[in-house]
Structure 1
């Protein structure tokens, strides 16, 4: 369910707080503080005002706010004892389906982080894969207290911005989405490769999770981007192109079995709001790629 910015601008305090109270984790006071700043010309302006309420609060208030966030893949999350927003976000990064070994690793990192900084590790999980979240954990643990406090508030900015975009419609919506696309050129035939099967996998440790299975159209592209309409989760990926089947269907002799059967391209995403275009240029005996646009 969404709410229009124009309607928010007309709401009394109680309705405004009820509509936006879940944007910041267990902190309806942020919406209450922001109500006096109405009207907002854009959705971006609304989010900026809500963030300003957090940033201008006292240090003790900010610390209490950060402490209200749940541990990632923690016991409360496993028991379902977290907000619906946090539950959905953690599920998006597969934190609800970790192996016992992965859960134990998250538990150790959660304990070490809380012991050092006095609040839970906060990261915008919709902008990361589970693999990247673990990397962020290990990268940020050596921070000093002041630096990590700033890092946590920056992640709150990303989390709340996505929640605002999901909830509020109107002018000036923040740009939070990335796009991943591909195309395949058959250099042997000198034309786009049609009907070529493609799979996209997210890599996590030694495991690979298939997230897309599709085929190319007559332009050698997919009918829809591989990922679109959301941030591109930071992490490692692999595209697998069934070039052996493609050339075999065209009657091209690539050997038996073919010299190239499945072509894997491993790449990383570092810009959640960016556009990554990962094409394949191939013959039965060679291939190349690049980051396109």
Structure 2
């Protein structure tokens, strides 16, 4: 998406305004059409609130049409037919374009069961999820009744729209759609921040290959120059942080066993709040380590 200034959107003709925001909600330009009359907007928060109000006030048949406008997740048939650029990028971001055979089978089974029961596609804001968390969410929602699922689907559609709008519109205010995952390493043997420790963040997968999310090195403050994940939601799921502490202590000529008792330390943890700040530090000596949940 090319970014638009909110000040420009406020002055566009109705036609240009609708064209610019037509696919914030998938294949549903009527939402932008209804929102245009409420201009000017003081910020993107007010713009999103107006778009969400149009959805909330829409008749049930129009809300159902909005739900049905969305594609199934990880559908080879729908991918071959062509997704919107937004849906394609969103599904690729979570790895739905490169599933293992076991993952593809699991998604196909879940999609079929959901559609068979409800008559509309399962919808979730995939940029807040991992493949494993999506499959768990399928199982959690399948026992619901159609009314509850329609409401949940609309809530997820609004989350998708908020993230699209965040990417599309430049404004002085910001939608609260981003989270942050960070770390730091403290050398408790030397009593100082540990600089130069190689760090790898991996998203763990139950059915397919795990994915490396970030590779970095700690700076002079023992932290990373950028968050491990930032400027977007931190997807719900399980992760591993691996720290190469053996090399760090060897380079500083700290007495150690050969091979080092602690060479690479893996910390496994889970994320449950995509828009929150999760801090996972490491306190380490050549013989011991500790961590805690920070924020």
> Do the two structures share a fold, i.e. TM-score over 0.5?
yes
In the alignment, the residues of structure 2 paired with residue 188 and residue 178 of structure 1 have an alpha-carbon distance, to the nearest angstrom, of: 32
* 1:134-145 map, 5 Å: 134-145=135-146
1:41 touches 1:171 (CA, 8 Å); kept in 2? no
Rounded to whole Å, the distance in 2 between the matches of 1:176 and 1:35 is 23
- Please list, as runs of the form range in 1=range in 2, the aligned pairs for 1:1-293 lying within 5 A after superposition: 1-79=2-80, 81-205=82-206, 207-293=209-295
3-state SS, counterpart of residue 241 of structure 1: strand
- The alpha carbon displacement at 1:80 in A equals 5.5
Deviation at 1:13?
1.7
How far apart, CA to CA, are the structure 2 residues paired with 1:159 and 1:170? 18
CA 221–42 in structure 1, closer or farther in 2 if over 3 Å, else same: same
Deviation string 1:205-243 (CA, Å, 9 cap, x unpaired) is 164211111111111111111111111111111000111
Supply the distance in 2 between the matched residues of 1:79 and 1:97 (Cα, whole angstroms): 14
Distance 1:213 1:77, change over 3 A: farther
Q: Matched residue of 1:237: which SS?
A: strand
Name the SS for the 1:251 alignment partner: coil
When the two structures are superposed, what TM-score results if normalisation uses the length of structure 2? 0.96
**What TM-score, normalized to structure 1?**
0.97
Indicate how the Cα distance of structure 1 residues 193 and 280 shifts in structure 2: closer, same or farther if over 3 A, else same: same
- 1:42-79 deviation digits (Å, cap 9, x = unpaired): 11111111111111111111111101100000124431
Contact 1:179 1:229 in 2 (8 A): yes
How many residues are matched? 293
User: Using the alignment, how far apart are the partners of 1:80 and 1:99 within structure 2?
Assistant: 21
Instruction: Select between 113-122 and 31-40 the one with higher mean Cα deviation.
Output: 31-40
For structure 1, which segment, 199-208 or 121-130, has the greater mean C-alpha deviation from structure 2 after superposition? 199-208
Give, in whole Å, the separation in 2 of the partners of 1:101 and 1:268: 22
Q: 1:149 and 1:262 mapped to 2: Cα distance?
A: 47
In structure 2, the gaps of 5 or more residues are none
Runs of 4+ residues over 3 Å off in structure 1? none
